[in-house]
């Protein structure tokens, strides 16, 4: 077996990205001051505001890296990194556009029919069109090749039947990029017979049922397809080529700053309070946390650099996601241990609110986007250990 080395190149922020950071910070400060949003933990996966997303689109901060000829802004991955990083740090309500901007848009640009691309992409860039990911099913999660939701060929298109599960944000989305079985499973070629489709979630036969999480919030769904008709031109890429596409999406899905900044708002608020507490334990805990964030950020930025080169760093992304999501759990546990009792027991104020939401949401961090056990298996194989 050939062993590929992991690459995390050192990346220097270009001047344009440094200037942009100030612009984004100013926008966020104004929005917050004007009541445009209240900061939330895990904002990219639980704070949905189409109105806010439209404002982000108007600023030119969606589809930033996409080619201008398709309606994008032709900017660098590092500039996009700065925007996403600042939005996460502020706990802004970015959920509506997050998936479309991160991974569905690039897939549509690369694989959709030109007229479908031209219809959808400018709307994503404007913050007026949102997408969900339809990979997992009731009996298919880690073993994604076993998906059973079927698309059967009919006149002029495909008839879809089955159920997708945990579809984040589908209740507020226009389209789902959906992995479907287009020919029967073959145990000898498990990754074949799968295709990706762009499904309009307003189509007859689609029903979306919200699933409440442990805190009672609905942010993911069960999406059912009953004889849903999808026109031929809404197949993404080649029929049967779905697996390769899904794998290509994972570097975008797993490497970004959302994997270690979901609870940053909790840290920020805790720091405001703890800065006056000079105890040795507090200093030690905060020092460890900051050192880990810096390391993870350096690795995640390295991946943004690789994306800028045109690479598809799935393995590096798996390594970052594994380390980053474990860190997110550790961060909240450590903060709980040093925060004063009156904060832990309080039901009012920003810090108690983001801490509570962070604690309720963080167990999902090591599951969504691929579990850590599965990521470790991939990494071990890459290192030639399995
Ligand atoms: C908050 C949240 C949001 C999500 N959003 C989406 C979404 O938008 N779209 C979407 O398609 N999916 C989404 N998912 C689904 C997510 O991708 C799956 O939950 C995940 O891939 C695991 O699949 P599973 O839940 O079926 O668990 P299983 O695959 O059944 O795994 C159960 C356990 O077995 C372990 N395991 C399984 N296989 C192996 C193996 N080979 N080696 C070692 N251990 C293994 C796993 O690590 C896990 O601990 C979301 C999940 C969550 C929690």
Q: How far apart are CA 263 and CA 40, in angstroms?
A: 9
Which of 104, 136, 325 for mutating ligand 1's site (highest number of atoms within 8 Å of CB)?
Answer: 136
Count of residues making up the chain: 386
pLDDT the model gives residue 1: 54
Which of 47, 96, 140, 142 for mutating ligand 1's site (highest number of atoms within 8 Å of CB)?
Answer: 142
Among protein residues, the one with the nearest Cα to ligand 1's atom 31 is 142
Which ligand 1 atom is nearest residue 136's CA? 11
Q: How far apart are CA 152 and CA 157, in angstroms?
A: 9
Ligand 1 pocket member 364 (CB < 6 A): yes
CB within 8 A of 241, min separation 6: which ones? Answer: 195, 196
**Nearest of 13, 9, 11, 17 to residue 75 by alpha carbon:** 17
What's the chain look like in SS3? CCCCCCCCCCCCCCHHHHHHHHHHHHHHHHHHHCCCCCCCCCHHHHCECHHHHHHHHHCCCCCCCCCHHHCCCCCCHHHHHHHHHHHHHHCCCEHHHHHHHHHHHHHHHHHCCHHHHHHHHHHHHCCCCCEEEECCECCECCCHHHCCCEEEEECCEEEEEEEEECCCCHHHCCEEEEEEECCCCCCCCCCCCEEEEEEECCCCCEEEEEEECCCCCEEEEEEEEEEEEEEHHHEECCCCCHHHHHHHHHHHHHCCCHHHHCCHHHHHHHHHHHCCCCCHHHHHHHHHHHHHHHHHHHHHHHHHHHHHCCCCCHHHHHHHHHHHHHHHHHHHHHHHHHCCHHHHHCCCCHHHHHHHHHHHHHHHHHCCCCCHHHHHHHHHHHCCCC
Task: List domains and CATH numbers for the chain.
Answer: 15-130 (1.10.540.10), 133-244 (2.40.110.10), 249-382 (1.20.140.10)
The bridge status of strand 150-154 relative to strand 157-165 is antiparallel
For ligand 1, the distance from its centroid to the CA atom of residue 19, given in whole angstroms, is 39
For ligand 1, the distance from its centroid to the CA atom of residue 101, given in whole angstroms, is 23
Which ligand 1 atom is nearest residue 144's CA? 21
> What value, to the nearest 5°, has the Cα angle with vertex 102 and ends 361 and 215?
15
Q: Supply the angle between the helices 314-338 and 350-361 in degrees, to the nearest 10.
A: 130
pLDDT the model gives residue 2: 59
Ligand 1 pocket member 135 (CB < 6 A): yes
Q: Judging by beta carbons within 10 Å of its beta carbon (0-12, 13-18, 19+), is residue 257 exposed, middle or buried?
A: buried
pLDDT the model gives residue 5: 80
pLDDT the model gives residue 312: 86
**Nearest of 99, 221, 242 to residue 158 by alpha carbon:** 242
Backbone angles phi, psi at 177, to 5 degrees: -85, 110
Among protein residues, the one with the nearest Cα to ligand 1's atom 22 is 141
**Nearest of 302, 303, 322 to residue 379 by alpha carbon:** 322
**Nearest of 303, 340, 307 to residue 320 by alpha carbon:** 303
Which ligand 1 atom is nearest residue 168's CA? 8
Q: How far apart are CA 266 and CA 298, in angstroms?
A: 21
CB within 8 A of 153, min separation 6: which ones? Answer: 182
Which of 180, 328, 367 for mutating ligand 1's site (highest number of atoms within 8 Å of CB)?
Answer: 367
For ligand 1, the distance from its centroid to the CA atom of residue 67, given in whole angstroms, is 33
- Residues of the chain whose pLDDT is less than 50? none
pLDDT the model gives residue 386: 62
Ligand 1 pocket member 167 (CB < 6 A): yes
Ligand 1 pocket member 224 (CB < 6 A): no
Which ligand 1 atom is nearest residue 99's CA? 8
For ligand 1, the distance from its centroid to the CA atom of residue 142, given in whole angstroms, is 5
Ligand 1 pocket member 142 (CB < 6 A): yes
Among protein residues, the one with the nearest Cα to ligand 1's atom 13 is 166
Q: How far apart are CA 232 and CA 302, in angstroms?
A: 39
Number of Cβ within 10 Å of residue 121's Cβ equals 24
Residues that are catalytic? 253
Ligand 1 pocket member 367 (CB < 6 A): yes
Among protein residues, the one with the nearest Cα to ligand 1's atom 18 is 141
Ligand 1 pocket member 263 (CB < 6 A): no
Ligand 1 pocket member 371 (CB < 6 A): yes
pLDDT the model gives residue 278: 73
């Amino acid at each position: 077996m050939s062993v590929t080395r992991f690459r995390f190149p050192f990346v220097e922020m270009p001047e344009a990205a440094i200037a942009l950071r100030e612009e984004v910070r100013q926008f966020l400060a104004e929005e917050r001051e004007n009541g445009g949003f209240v900061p939330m933990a895990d904002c990219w996966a639980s704070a949905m505001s189409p109105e806010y997303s439209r404002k982000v689109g108007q600023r030119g901060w969606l589809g930033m890296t996409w080619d201008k000829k398709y309606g994008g802004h032709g900017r660098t991955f590092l500039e996009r990194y700065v925007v996403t990083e600042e939005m996460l740090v502020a706990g802004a309500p970015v959920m509506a556009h997050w998936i479309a901007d991160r991974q569905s848009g690039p897939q549509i640009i690369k694989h959709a029919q030109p007229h479908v691309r031209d219809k959808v992409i400018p709307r994503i860039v404007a913050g007026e069109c949102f997408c969900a990911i339809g990979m997992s099913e009731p009996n298919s999660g880690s073993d994604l090749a076993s998906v059973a939701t079927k698309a059967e060929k009919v006149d002029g298109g495909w008839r879809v039947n089955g159920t997708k599960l945990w579809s984040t944000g589908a209740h507020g989305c226009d389209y789902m990029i959906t992995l479907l079985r287009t020919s029967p499973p073959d145990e000898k070629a498990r990754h074949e017979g799968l295709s990706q489709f762009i499904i309009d979630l307003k189509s007859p036969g689609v029903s979306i049922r919200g699933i409440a999480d442990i805190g009672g919030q609905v942010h993911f769904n069960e999406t059912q397809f009953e004889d849903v008709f999808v026109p031929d031109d809404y197949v993404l890429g080649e029929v049967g080529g779905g697996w390769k596409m899904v794998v290509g999406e994972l570097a975008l899905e797993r490497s970004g700053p959302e994997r270690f900044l979901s609870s940053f708002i909790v840290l920020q608020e805790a720091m405001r309070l703890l800065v006056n507490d000079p105890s040795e334990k507090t200093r030690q805990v905060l020092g460890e946390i900051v050192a880990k964030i810096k390391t993870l950020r350096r690795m995640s930025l390295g991946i943004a650099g690789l994306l800028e080169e045109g690479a598809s760093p799935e393995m590096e992304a798996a390594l970052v996601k594994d380390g980053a999501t474990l860190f997110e759990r550790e961060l909240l546990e450590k903060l709980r241990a040093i925060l004063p009792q009156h904060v832990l027991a309080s039901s009012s104020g920003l810090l108690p609110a983001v801490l509570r939401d962070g604690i309720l949401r963080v167990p999902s961090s090591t599951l969504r986007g691929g579990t850590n056990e599965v990521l470790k298996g991939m990494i071990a194989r890459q290192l030639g250990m399995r």
